[in-house]
Amino acid sequence: MKTSTTEKPSSKDKNLAKRVTIPLLAITLLLLMVAWLAGAFKDKVFPAFEEATPTLAPLNIFTVITSKEAIFEGVAASVTAKQATIISSRLLARINKIKVRAGDDVKKGDVLITLEHKDLASKVIEANEQVKAMQARHTESQQNYQRAQALFSKKIVSQFDLDKSKADYQSIIAELTAARQNLSQAKTTLSYATLRAPINGKVVDRFAEPGNTAQAGGKLLSLYNPLTLRVEAQVREQLALTLNHGQSIKVDLPTIKQSLSGLVEEIVPAANTGSRSFLIKISLPYQENLLPGMYARLLIPAGQATKLYLPSESVFKVGQLDFVNVLINGQSQRRFVRVGKSNKPALVNIISGLVPGEQVRLAK
């Protein structure tokens, strides 16, 4: 009698099954993960416009309007003084006294600096005495000449004596004139020891102290007249050639938070070859807080441009960006726009993102 037996798989078949099954499971698992990451097991939301709101009120819709306006180009400028001067000495002398400091107001003719001048005063006295001596000799020679004329008319002296007396008299006149000129020169040189203000103004800075030696031509003080302040700027040639003398130009002064109206005072008729620009000088009305060297900004007319405007309520922010709701075929679409400065109340200037005639919905 025979008994049946079941054949057991060999170890070789088991290893083969493992080698096939494990990679298939890995691939299947990998495909399931990729599908899950791709959102295959989630509900999909397809992009579409917002549904039109049938109850939209006409008052909530605004059409982009255009406006032709003059545009201005800003040019960096500096405040300068038309009347500014450097006080310097014409002598080599020690400084005795300086009577002003930076920020002091002075009037024309006020004494600013005195230099050592004892030797100069002595020369003035000496020249004055020489003049007195020559005046005495002049009186004597004049009387001698008059007597010689009288004696010559009576035939008492010869022509030679008369001519000699006349020559002596004329020589004394010349010497007296020279002595007077020497006295005038000595007084003028003495006056150089006292430095006075040449203009009404304000002291900007002083560059020496009493006891220092003033060098001829060396600067000691600087002054400017605050009533003659103006603005100077380098303006590109195409824009500069459109300006005229006496033309009104708006000037912004950020430091003192003011805007002034200036007049074109001077246009230097030669361009800067490096920057291709012209130096423009604009006169300004007096401002108490305005000082030389301050920053200014010229707003020069540069033609006209078409600008777009929307009500401020139609623009809303998302983070740092500005958006509007644009109506396209009756449906609202959010669109990014760039907003600029506006000089119209309750309106916003749109730089880009919209075109004339488009309709927007007021943001709520």
Q: How far apart are CA 332 and CA 314, in angstroms?
A: 13
Question: The domain containing residue 101 runs over which residues?
Answer: 90-114+193-224
| 148 shares a domain with 110 | no
Q: Give me the CATH number covering residue 170.
A: 1.10.287
| Listed range (67-71, 238-242, 299-303) with the worst mean pLDDT | 67-71
For the cut 80, the answer to whether the pLDDT of residue 35 exceeds it is: no
C-beta separation of 282 from 82 below 8 A: no
Write the pLDDT tens digit of every residue in 164-217. Answer: 988 999 999 999 999 999 999 999 999 999 999 999 999 999 999 999 999 999
188 and 121 within one domain: yes
Question: What pTM does this model have?
Answer: 0.61
Other CB atoms within a 10 A radius of the CB of residue 259 amount to 11
- Whether the per-residue pLDDT at 4 is higher than 50: the answer is no
Identify the helix (H) or strand (E) that includes residue 233: strand 229-236
Within-domain flag for 25: no
- Residue 131 has what pLDDT? 93
If asked whether residues 103 and 198 sit together in one domain, one would say yes
CATH code where residue 104 lies: 2.40.50.100
Q: What is the mean pLDDT of the chain?
A: 86
CATH number assigned to the domain comprising residue 293:
2.40.30.170
Q: Is 200 part of any domain?
A: yes
Please report whether residue 161 resides in a domain.
Answer: yes
Quickly count: other Cβ atoms within 10 Å of residue 77's Cβ: 25
Residue 169 lies in a domain: yes
**Same domain (yes/no): 254, 277:** yes
Domain assignment present for 40: no
- What number is the average pLDDT over the span 36-54? 58
- Based on the domain organization, do 202 and 106 belong to the same domain? yes
Q: Let me know the angle formed at the C-alpha of 350 by 345 and 353, rounded to the nearest 5 degrees.
A: 155
Residue 209 shares a structural domain with residue 243: no
Whether residues 137 and 236 share a domain: the answer is no
In this structure, the answer to whether residues 288 and 269 fall within a common structural domain is yes
Judge whether residue 77 has pLDDT over 90.
yes
Phi and psi for 292 in degrees, rounded to 5? -60, 145
Query: According to the model, what pLDDT value does residue 185 have?
Result: 94
Whether 201 and 103 map to the same domain: the answer is: yes
Shared domain for 142 and 267, answered yes or no, is: no
Residue 337 has pLDDT above 80, yes or no: yes
Do 99 and 158 lie in one domain? The reply is no
Q: Among residues of the chain, what percentage have pLDDT more than 70? A: 88
Of 302, 328, 346, the position where a domain reaches its end is 302
Asked if 87 and 220 count as a contact pair (C-beta separation under 8 A), the reply is yes
Last residue of a domain, one of 224, 247, 268: 224
Q: Could you tell me if residue 158 is inside a domain?
A: yes
Q: What does the DSSP 8-state code read for residue 313?
A: G
Would you say residue 24 has pLDDT above 50? Answer: yes
Does residue 106 sit in the same domain as residue 164?
no
Q: Residue 9 falls within a domain, yes or no?
A: no
Give me the CATH number covering residue 352: 2.40.420.20
| Count: domains in the chain | 4
pLDDT of residue 75: 93
Task: Look at the block and give the residue holding tokens 């006294």.
Answer: 97
In a domain, residue 15? The reply is no
- For the chain, percent of residues with pLDDT exceeding 90: 50
